[in-house]
Amino acid sequence: MSNVVEDPKEKYTLITKGLQEVLNGQIIKKVLEEEKRPLKIYWGTAPTGKPHCGYFVPMIKLAHFLKAGCEVKVLLADLHAFLDNMKAPLDVVNYRAKYYEFIVKAILRSIGVPIEKLTFVVGSSYQLSRDYTLDLFKLANIVSQNDAKRAGADVVKQVANPLLSGLIYPLMQVLDEQYLDVDAEFGGVDQRKIFVLSEENIEALGYKKRAHMMNPMVPGLGQGGKMSSSDPNSKIDIIEKPKKVKKKINSAFCAPGNVEENGLLSFVQFVLGPVYELKHGTGTFQFFIDRPEKYGGPITYNSFEDLKTAFKEEKLSPVDLKAGVAAGINQLLEPIIAEYEANPEFQEAAAKGYPEPSKNNKQKKQKKQKNRGSRYPGKKDEEKETEKVSKKLEEAKIEN
């Protein structure tokens, strides 16, 4: 990664590059232009499902923040993961937090981001303190349950009978900005309602407002919806094997000429393109497809717009786009998988954070049998006839 940007306006441009939305951008400008100090930012992630390739998007932004001279904290929100309706016990969440830290560091190293300039913080290291708890109670005395529920709607796992924990989750995220001592929080656009909750309520506790920066969400591999840890078919894990990657990409929704609902094009736009730019310099783009000679031979696109136009005009087929994306993803994941396979602690965190279902549980499920009555034609008629006979016998007893 090249040298740190010095000009305040250039810094702001780089900090906000590619974001979908910025709330209170004037706070960022004040720090950079008037206070002339590094902007302090945090990005939080709750260690729930296994991280997927969509995580490259915030990692690219962390690279931009560091290049702009920002002080960046990565929050491993273990208690948030526990409060989500995933029902993972705390000991499992602890291993997931370790796994997330390994993954985040491995991704950043793979795209050339200096991780020594990052600070990693585990949520429970300060969220169980007396002051934090007291502030949580104060905030709970200000925010209505409807507002808390609405704030967490796009982030907390939604279930038929929600737990009280889902209301605590967004309140804690509001307080994290203060206790991590930052000027701005960065997250996906799915965090917007929590960011607004913070802007509307944090000053009531005597704390200053923060700026909020939002990334677009990477679409999943299916038709519509974001790439999500809870939907295995929509995402590719960070340590997914090359054959599995190809299989998932080959089964992804990719209609000829359709550029509006195309998770593969979006992945090139938000991940493969920006990673190439990080490694080769601002304004650069390259997407290579090793196409067979009988279909025109290998082809390279030097801008995303050219790639998108070629697909829209059906000059590029879904098969070829899939081949290029699969190869690009496998190239991205290769150094991360190598790091995983060389590190026993990394492997242990994965095994204990995401244990495989036991064989005993599988056997119990297999032993569960359905009502046999539905398997035999005429069984219901037979049962009715038996009932009639039994009734007649009972009437005969009464008459005698």
From first to last of the 400 residues of the chain, give the pLDDT tens digit. Answer: 557 788 999 999 999 999 999 999 999 999 999 999 999 999 999 998 899 999 999 999 999 999 999 999 999 999 999 988 666 788 899 999 999 999 999 999 999 888 888 999 999 999 999 999 999 999 999 999 999 999 988 888 777 787 888 899 999 999 999 999 999 999 999 999 999 999 999 999 999 999 999 999 888 777 666 666 656 667 899 999 999 999 999 999 999 999 998 999 999 999 999 999 999 988 999 999 999 898 889 999 999 999 999 999 999 999 999 999 999 999 999 999 999 999 999 999 999 999 987 655 544 455 555 554 444 455 555 556 656 656 655 655 545 4
How far is the CA of 92 from the CAs of 44, 100, 228, 351, in angstroms? 19, 12, 20, 10
- Return the half-sphere exposure (C-beta side, CA atoms, 13 A cut-off) of residue 77: 20
Q: Which of 343, 336, 328, 350 is CA-nearest to residue 104?
A: 336
Look at the alpha carbons of 109, 280, 4, 272 in this order and tell me if their dihedral is positive or negative: negative
| 380 contact partners, CB below 8 Å, separation of at least 6 | 373
Domains of the chain: 8-215 (3.40.50.620), 232-353 (1.10.240.10)
Q: How far apart, in whole angstroms, are the C-alpha atoms of residue 66 and residue 58?
A: 12
Instruction: Indicate the pTM of the whole model.
Output: 0.83
